[in-house]
């Protein structure tokens, strides 16, 4: 028997079990590192014994004693026993559903039941990081057909809980990523709610970008809402902007993302299933999906956007969601801020109609709100844009946004960080700003972990600049990150693509 030790290591979604090498070499156990271990708190074979399965790491002196079993945070909480409780670790075979993952890797078609058992094991934290990567890659490599994608999406919806609002239409929206600063949700939701629609918006934190909507909204209000809290906000104001991760909606997706992020792999099936599952489980009946096309955005051609749009259309129909898509072109970030705090400032400027508020962010938001108003027949066809503009310009949307902030729990914007300007090295007209690379600068500066870190554009596409003119500011909390972001910026002058006169 071994005693539990909580080792206070956050291993994300992976349960890790730490065992002293001596216990393995000399004693009762016969494990190898990275083996899967079942930690049982009670008689072995008794189904009422608390138990968890985790991945084994070996330790020497320091972390755990030879008679202790160390548990990472997620393993400790899932087992639910106190420190020093007695447990027995035994070798555990891999979860049975891994056979389906291996079969998929070898090209077999998976059934709905297969996806359900895989995602069931995923949400029970039975997959290691490497196994999560196997599943993601097995589905990523275009070996998943459309019937499978529908079943994958259904399984994602069914493994986890589902909110229901209504009766009546529930509207939602989503923007495909890759375009920094594209924080339309925080403007569209208050526009729609101020016009009487129900918009229980859930958003994600950044996966590979410098800020997700949940990160940006998180600088102005609490976003980690429990389902009851979210419901009360929606009941009161008509809409909310909450972090999906705290709600247990399509939880498999949140776990897959922990591995997708460091892989920096964009997988189309995963994206389609993830977006649709999040909408359905958040209770939506209608959703608009914005697909921005740009040379440096996630979707790079009209054809790719069209294919993706068609795929969304067909799969959404099968899972009972009405979806329209909107294809737009971008040649740089939306707005002037990149990073949670700086993007929040853009959003506030548009809502409040401030001088210098980014026109592109305002226009995109109006266009999206208009489409949703019309697709749900909330306003007559052709009236969407006028209604959206009125909601914004009358201050109704700004008022609704402030009510949402208060209902969720208001936060004040973090203080500004230290900043440094990056200057143009040539003169000419700015043709394009590289979305991906400018995002790297913001990430190196510390976004999104540091909410005030990021980039503020001083010049945008179409402007004429002279060599030596400041192009953008880097904001960072620490000098080392400021230096790291600056180094990247100086090494990549093509972030701003300037046509010489």
Site for a second copy in 76-105 (CB under 8 A): 88, 90-91, 93-94, 98, 102, 105
Is residue 172 within 8 A of residue 234, CB to CB? The reply is: no
Nearer to a second copy, 304 or 396 (CB): 304
468 phi and psi angles, rounded to 5 deg = 100, -15
Longest dimension (CA), the chain: 79
User: Where does this chain touch a second copy (CB under 8 A) — which range of 17-25, 175-183, 221-229, 287-295?
Assistant: 17-25
Between 7 and 191, whose beta carbon lies closer to a second copy? 7
DSSP code of residue 221: B
Cβ pair 397, 194 in contact under 8 A? yes
Give a three-class secondary structure readout of 332-352.
Answer: CCCCCEECHHHHHHHHHHHHC
Nearest distance from C-beta of residue 64 to a second copy, angstroms: 9
Distance CA 72, CA 320 (A): 39
Of 371 and 440, the one with the shorter C-beta distance to a second copy is 440
160: left (phi over 0), alpha (psi -120 to 50) or beta: left
Cβ at position 118, least distance to a second copy in Å: 15
Name which of residues 251 to 280 contact a second copy (CB under 8 A): 258-259, 261-265
Work out which of 3, 22, 42, 63 binds a second copy, going by CB under 8 A: 63
Cα of first residue to Cα of last residue in the chain, in angstroms, is 77
* Residue with Cβ nearer a second copy (381 or 412): 412
User: 381 or 479, CB closer to a second copy?
Assistant: 479
Using CB under 8 A, pick the residue from 271, 293, 453, 474 that binds a second copy. Answer: 453
CB of 448 to a second copy, least distance (A): 8
Q: Least separation, in Å, of the C-beta of 136 and a second copy?
A: 9
Residue span binding a second copy (CB under 8 A) among the ranges 27-35, 114-122, 185-193, 321-329: 27-35
Region of 94 on the Ramachandran plot (φ > 0 left; ψ -120 to 50 alpha; else beta): beta
CA angle (484, 486, 487) in 5-degree steps: 65
- Under rule CB under 8 A, residue 327 binds a second copy: no
10 touches a second copy (CB under 8 A): yes
Helix (H) or strand (E) holding 3: strand 2-6
Q: Residue 70 or residue 283: which is nearer to a second copy going by CB?
A: 70
CB of 276 to a second copy, least distance (A): 24
Q: Which of 30, 168, 356, 382 binds a second copy (CB under 8 A)?
A: 30
Q: Which residues pair with 40 in a beta bridge?
A: 51, 88
Shortest spacing between CB 178 and a second copy, in angstroms: 15
The smaller minimum CB distance to a second copy, of residues 58 and 112, is found at: 58
Q: Check binding of 34 to a second copy (CB under 8 A).
A: yes
- φ, ψ of residue 454 to 5 degrees: the values are 150, -155
Handedness of CA 158, 162, 166, 172 (dihedral sign): negative
Q: Give me the least distance between CB of 414 and a second copy, in Å please.
A: 12
Q: Does 18 bind a second copy (CB under 8 A)?
A: yes
Rounded-to-integer distance, Cα 163 and Cα 230, Å: 10
- Choose the binding region for a second copy from 54-62, 118-126, 184-192, 392-400 (rule: CB under 8 A): 54-62
Angle between helices 185-194 and 340-351 (to 10 degrees): 30
Give strand ranges (E) for 139-265: 171-175, 199-203, 239-243
SS3 letters across 381-394: CCCHHHHHHHHHHC
Angle of the 268-281 helix axis to the 251-263 helix axis, nearest 10: 150
Q: Which of 67, 266, 295, 469 is catalytic?
A: 266
Residue 129 touches a second copy, criterion: CB under 8 A:
yes
The answer to whether residue 416 forms part of the interface with a second copy (CB under 8 A) is no
Query: For the window 463-492, what string marks contact with a second copy as x by the rule CB under 8 A?
Result: -------------xxxxxx-xx--------
Q: How many whole angstroms separate alpha carbon 109 and alpha carbon 256?
A: 20
494 lies in the binding site for a second copy (CB under 8 A): no
**What residues numbered 425-444 form the site for a second copy, per CB under 8 A?**
440, 443-444
Task: Count residues near a second copy (CB under 8 A).
Answer: 74
Rounded-to-integer distance, Cα 476 and Cα 478, Å: 6
User: Annotated catalytic, 46?
Assistant: no
The stretch near a second copy (CB under 8 A) out of 125-133, 217-225, 270-278, 358-366 is 125-133
Distance of alpha carbon 276 from alpha carbon 253, whole angstroms: 11
Tokens of 16: 């890790």
Nearer to a second copy, 301 or 394 (CB): 301
Q: How far is the CB of 453 from a second copy (least distance, A)?
A: 6
So which residues are the catalytic ones?
266
């Amino acid at each position: 028997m071994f005693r539990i030790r909580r080792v206070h290591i956050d291993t994300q979604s992976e349960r890790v079990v730490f065992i002293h090498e001596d216990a393995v070499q000399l004693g009762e156990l016969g494990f190898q590192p990275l083996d899967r271990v079942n930690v049982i708190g009670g008689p072995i074979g008794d189904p009422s014994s608390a138990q968890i399965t985790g991945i084994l790491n070996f330790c020497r002196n320091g972390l755990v004693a030879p008679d202790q079993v160390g548990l990472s945070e997620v393993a400790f909480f899932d087992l639910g026993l106190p420190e020093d409780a007695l447990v027995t670790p035994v070798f555990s075979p891999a979860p049975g559903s891994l056979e389906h993952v291996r079969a998929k890797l070898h090209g077999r078609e998976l059934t709905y039941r297969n996806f359900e058992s895989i995602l069931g094991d995923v949400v029970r934290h039975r997959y290691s990081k490497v196994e999560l990567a196997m599943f993601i890659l097995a589905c990523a490599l275009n070996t998943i057909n459309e019937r499978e994608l529908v079943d994958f999406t259904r399984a994602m919806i069914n493994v986890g809980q589902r909110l229901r609002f209504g009766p009546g239409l529930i509207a939602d929206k989503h923007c495909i990523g890759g375009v920094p600063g594209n924080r339309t949700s925080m403007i569209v939701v208050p526009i729609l709610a101020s016009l009487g629609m129900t918009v229980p918006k859930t958003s994600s934190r950044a996966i590979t970008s410098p800020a997700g909507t949940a990160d940006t909204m998180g600088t102005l209000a609490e976003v980690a809402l429990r389902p009851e809290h979210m419901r009360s906000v929606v009941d009161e104001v008509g809409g909310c902007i909450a972090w999906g991760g705290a709600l247990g909606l399509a939880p498999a997706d949140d776990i897959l993302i922990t591995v997708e992020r460091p892989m920096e792999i964009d997988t189309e099936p995963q994206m389609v299933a993830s977006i649709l599952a999040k909408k359905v489980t958040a209770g939506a009946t209608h959703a608009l999906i914005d697909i921005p096309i740009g040379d440096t955005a996630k979707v790079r051609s009209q054809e790719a956007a069209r294919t993706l749009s068609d795929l969304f259309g067909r799969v959404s129909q099968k899972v009972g969601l009405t979806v329209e898509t909107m294809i737009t072109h971008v040649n740089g970030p939306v707005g002037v801020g990149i990073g949670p705090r700086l993007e929040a400032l853009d959003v506030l400027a548009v809502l409040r109609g401030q001088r210098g508020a980014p026109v592109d962010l305002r226009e995109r938001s109006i266009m999206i709100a208009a489409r949703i108003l019309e697709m749900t027949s909330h306003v007559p066809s052709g009236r969407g844009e006028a209604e959206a503009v009125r909601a914004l310009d009358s201050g109704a949307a700004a008022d609704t946004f402030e009510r949402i902030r208060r209902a969720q729990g208001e936060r004040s914007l973090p203080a500004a960080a230290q900043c440094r300007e990056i200057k143009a090295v040539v003169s000419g007209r700015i043709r394009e700003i590289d979305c991906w690379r400018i995002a790297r600068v913001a990430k190196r500066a510390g976004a999104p972990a540091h909410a005030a870190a990021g980039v503020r554009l001083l010049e945008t596409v179409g402007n004429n600049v002279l060599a030596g003119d400041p192009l953008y500011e880097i904001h960072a909390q620490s000098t080392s990150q400021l230096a790291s972001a600056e180094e990247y910026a100086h090494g990549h002058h093509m972030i701003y693509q300037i046509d010489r006169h």
